[in-house]
Amino acid sequence: MDTPLDMKSSGMKNKRPTLQDVADLVGVTKMTVSRYLRNPDQVSPPLQTKIGEALDHLGYIPNRAPDILSKSKSHAIGVLVPSLTNQVFAEVIRGIESVLEPAGYQTMLAHYGYSKEAEEKRIAALLSYNVDGLIISESYHTERVRKMLSVAGIPVIEIMDSVSPAIEQAIGIDNQAAAYAMTECMIQKGHRKIVYFAARMDQRTLQRIRGYQTAMHDNGLTEMCLSTDSASSFTLGEQFMKEALAKQPDTDGIFCTNDDLAIGALYACQKAGIKIPEEMGIAGFHGHNIARVMVPLLATVITPREEMGRLAAEHLLSRLQGNPVSQKIINLPFQIEPGESI
């Protein structure tokens, strides 16, 4: 005569409990339960106990859907990065979450693998979930993306790049200036035939190339660039190294668009018995953690990735609180770390 032990075994739908279910159990309306959840003191002490027990017993889980529907406020922030495997973005994300999480916001992460088409789809998806704000990391967008963002009417912050014209607000570094500075540094150290290794030709890489080219030109040196559209990797750095030596045997310096390529190139030299930095100077970009411990220490451009994420989140929160854009473009400092490899 017993009822089934639980709903699962009874073949019922086992739907997750709603406020109504809790209210029915206690014998009040769901409004009362709602009040309890938002501020327990709004209901009488005896009900507080009963409602608390009922919530616990049923295992009530809050449901944001109604709120999102009625107030168009999801308390979720969309974060769009090109890649998750790239350590750089992982650190930016950590910075973002370190601010959003304590503020009660959920981050909705999406990535688009550097494809404009995917970016469009991902932004549409994030907007369809009614995110309250967006942090994106590209500087060029299709017309449709711009329209979507404008229509959505939510604050948008672009990160990584402080040079391209911002939609509303951009926080990043000046990639061209950083690349210029590193190239200058390599030249000062005596390198002359410096080749640039580039992968994934996005805006940031193009700007770095421009910085490198300008520095070479300003010093009366000849530039040479090896590039590909595919993803960068340690192995690609090795390949490029071999290619550079084949094309220009007297190459004495390599500046890479990121540390992955640089590390690959460095190991390729070690395997080939090329002395670093005497015979070949190698520099990277972005300060991969490993660059700071390896032997020899890799020359690299150190960028404030985590702080960039933090700042982006802070400015976004500020705008969600109704404040206007305080500063359209925020340019963060970078640092040239010569290491031991140039």
Partner DNA sequence: TATGATAATGTTACAGGTAACAATTCATGG
Partner DNA sequence: CCATGAATTGTTACCTGTAACATTATCATA
Neighbouring CB atoms inside 10 A of 25's CB total 17
In the complex with DNA, the residue whose CB is nearer, 35 or 189, is: 35
Q: Which helix (H) or strand (E) holds 137?
A: none
Q: Are 296 and 277 in contact (CB under 8 A)?
A: yes
| Partner residues linked to 198 by β-bridges | 227
Taking CB under 8 A as the binding criterion, the range among 45-53, 124-132, 211-219, 315-323 that sits at the site for its own copies is 124-132
Q: Does 14 bind DNA (CB under 7 A)?
A: no
Q: Are 159 and 171 in contact (CB under 8 A)?
A: yes
In the complex with its own copies, the residue whose CB is nearer, 65 or 325, is: 65
Q: Which helix (H) or strand (E) holds 102?
A: none
28 binds, among DNA, its own copies, none (CB under 5 to 8 A by kind): DNA
What separation, in Å, do the N-terminal and C-terminal C-alpha atoms of the chain show? 83
DSSP secondary structure string for all residues of 28-82: S-HHHHHHHHH-GGGS-HHHHHHHHHHHHHHT-----HHHHHHH----EEEEEES
Taking CB under 8 A as the binding criterion, the range among 39-47, 71-79, 169-177, 318-326 that sits at the site for its own copies is 71-79
CA distances from 243 to 175, 224, 236, 269 (A): 25, 12, 10, 12
- Cα–Cα dist 107/216, whole Å: 42
Size of the site for DNA (CB under 7 A): 26
Please give the residues from 251 up to 270 whose contact with its own copies meets the rule CB under 8 A.
Answer: 263-264, 267, 270
Q: Does 69 bind DNA (CB under 7 A)?
A: yes
Which of residues 10, 14, 49, 63 is near DNA by CB under 7 A? 63
φ and ψ at residue 230, rounded to 5 degrees? -75, 175
- Cα–Cα dist 171/92, whole Å: 12
User: Cβ of residue 193: shortest distance to its own copies, in angstroms?
Assistant: 24
Please give the residues from 282 up to 311 whose contact with its own copies meets the rule CB under 8 A.
Answer: 289-290, 292-295
Q: Does 42 bind DNA (CB under 7 A)?
A: yes
Q: Does 65 bind DNA (CB under 7 A)?
A: yes
User: Cβ of residue 39: shortest distance to DNA, in angstroms?
Assistant: 10
Neighbouring CB atoms inside 10 A of 321's CB total 7
Q: Does 37 bind DNA (CB under 7 A)?
A: yes
Q: Which helix (H) or strand (E) holds 274?
A: none
Question: Tokens standing for 182?
Answer: 């590193």
Q: Does 62 bind DNA (CB under 7 A)?
A: yes
User: Cβ of residue 210: shortest distance to its own copies, in angstroms?
Assistant: 29
Q: Are 211 and 179 in contact (CB under 8 A)?
A: yes
Taking CB under 7 A as the binding criterion, the range among 63-71, 85-93, 152-160, 326-334 that sits at the site for DNA is 63-71
124 binds, among its own copies, DNA, none (CB under 5 to 8 A by kind): its own copies
Q: Does 43 bind DNA (CB under 7 A)?
A: yes
φ and ψ at residue 79, rounded to 5 degrees? -125, 120
Which of residues 20, 85, 98, 150 is near DNA by CB under 7 A? 20
Which is nearest to 248 in space by CA: 194, 169, 201? 194
Q: Does 7 bind DNA (CB under 7 A)?
A: no
The CA angle 29-69-74, to the nearest 5 degrees, is 105
Question: Tokens standing for 3?
Answer: 């009822």
Q: Where on the chain is the footprint of its own copies (CB under 8 A)?
A: 14-17, 58-59, 61-66, 68-69, 72, 74, 76, 84-85, 87, 90-91, 93-94, 97, 106-111, 124-130, 147-148, 150-153, 233-235, 238, 263-264, 267, 270-271, 289-290, 292-295
Q: Where on the chain is the footprint of DNA (CB under 7 A)?
A: 15, 18-20, 28-32, 34-35, 37-38, 41-44, 47, 62-63, 65-67, 69-70, 72
